[in-house]
Structure 1
């Protein structure tokens, strides 16, 4: 018999799992819906008890530990399910009871690292000022700021509004302290596609993201997708209960990630070309890598991919890849421009586009830059940001470069606004395109590149192809071969040729 311990996200308690619990118990499992300290709807604190505002993450970890300790040994495997913020107390509890907790289920939530507060993974749009140590719960349409409400009935929305309680701010701001190797066990990710997450996103993180995501390619880790919003326990309790039972049975899709994600050393990441440092000038989110040449020079602005965490260090412009590109271009006589844009989630493309446009304006106004000779170079998930520039290019935009790009939102990137679709934007009036294709690209992303190539050919757009057959996504820091070095040199020369004309 399996025992499920269910821990929900902010503002909610055990009540949110009612229909899921009924289905799990009907299937013969034990199910325990946890209401964390300070999260009881309509309950006044007893005299002398800890005020809700004083509750922190450690108190919630202790709540989950108590539930685990109360499960009889005859219950068999204990599966801990963490939804949204709930994954923080779940992982804390697993570290304290590593021998008792079998599987961890991540329900439409991220994978926090040691030292991460919950605020590091909250949607930027959800930021709310606390009142007397409590974050007020959302109501009505405000729930959408915390996650997709797709699939919620009017009755479910009413329950959310009626039973939601303030969240103690210290539960969100206290860093998570992991002990006992909580990731060293079977895990399952349940991704709600209406929230914009999906297996293709996870594959990208494993293939080219920070090293800590490589654990997701472990054969003990499985994935499921649910076609619903961020609160599947309310919008799809039946399918969710079925998925949880299948997860406990060790089912789920295993990742098949091409490339060196699973075997490259943690200290890998140097730029594949040996380029000397150049003078660098920082202007807010923008860095200018300056050439030695006199007079206004053309500029190449490098736009990183994403989404990235706002807590990522180093930030993209300080990463070896973009430092390398900026210095390399500056060494060849152009101004290399790198920036940190705010693509923190799939819904953030409009904000990131504003950041790129602001960077372009800043660069063109610099007297050391020839404002009539600019190239924009987009990488990975940043490729979607090229759509505006392809659809309505200004006269000074001499070239758009794309390296292992995403050029149409994959099916499960539903939070991306329709405007960011380069396959639809490319046309006869688009500026020349330098397209670098990695031969060992993730198939979902490669499909968007193929669609772009077809659309560009149909429209008569000019595309310079740089094919790198044995290269992976993000190859500049993972594939140090003569082929990849030649490809970077060739792509840079092609871009500079266009801005020199």
Structure 2
């Protein structure tokens, strides 16, 4: 039995993985969706990026999980990639689901253009240090049903600003770890340059899904199949 630890992206809680988790459990796997500090049912005080790394490591260590496939979506590729380097031989594989990846000493925001960084920092200032959730219009063209968009919008919560502005701290180079990168083609046909560089490592592989940036909602069965194939 493989243990899947599933970490949702910005604004989302463990609930975002419900359909994928059900499909993986039906295959006999252990599934542990994570809600990060400061988001969803844990919304409250601001949380830093290392708190998010600690959240993930705690789920694995507190449950004494072995043979772990650790998946991070979107923003959460950054804390998931750091957590993967801390859990030693508990790790089976890291999976980045159309996500950012960590670079030692750099933050999530450092990967944005100057205009993008200014826009996000402006949002953080206006909202007291939190990153406001997206609106329904932001999900157009991402292979999502109206029902899925309504669900995401209604359940999203502001994301802790410190977590996206604090730098990553890598315990191990991510290129050394067995890794699958899932590229969702409706959110861009090719991986970002930093991901493309890592894909030159023999430890990394690329899987493509013909869907948008939120495959746990748009194509949960297909995403679960990809994950199950890694077990």
Match of 2:181 in 1: 189
Task: Indicate the structure (1 or 2) with the bigger Cα radius of gyration.
Answer: 1
Structure 1 SS opposite 2:153: helix
Match of 2:12 in 1: 12
Displacement of 1:133 after TM fit?
A: 1.3
Cα 1:122–1:239 change in 2 (3 A) is: farther
Q: How does 1:26-425 map to 2 (within 5 A)?
A: 26-41=26-41, 51-53=44-46, 55-73=47-65, 76-122=66-112, 124=116, 127=120, 129-130=123-124, 131-143=127-139, 149-198=141-190, 201=191, 205=193, 214-246=197-229, 248-249=230-231
Displacement of 1:176 after TM fit?
A: 0.6
Displacement of 1:106 after TM fit?
A: 1.0
Structure 1 SS opposite 2:100: coil
Structure ranking higher in helix proportion:
2
Relative contact order, higher structure (CA 8 A, sep 6+): 2
Displacement of 1:183 after TM fit?
A: 3.0
- Give the TM-score taking structure 2 as reference length: 0.88
Aligned length: 225
Whole-angstrom distance in 2 between the partners of 1:168 and 1:159: 21
Is residue 82–residue 102 contact of structure 2 (8 Å, CA) maintained in 1?
A: no
Displacement of 1:114 after TM fit?
A: 0.5
- Give the TM-score taking structure 1 as reference length: 0.42
Whole-angstrom distance in 2 between the partners of 1:34 and 1:178: 20
Q: Could you give the per-residue CA deviations for residues 59-112 of structure 1, whole angstroms, max 9, x where no partner exists?
A: 111100101113335xx4101101111011112212222222221111112333
Whole-angstrom distance in 2 between the partners of 1:156 and 1:214: 33
Q: CA RMSD in A?
A: 2.2
Q: Could you give the per-residue CA deviations for residues 297-326 of structure 1, whole angstroms, max 9, x where no partner exists?
A: xxxxxxxxxxxxxxxxxxxxxxxxxxxxxx
| Gap regions ≥5 residues in structure 2 | none
Whole-angstrom distance in 2 between the partners of 1:213 and 1:176: 19
Cα 1:122–1:153 change in 2 (3 A) is: farther
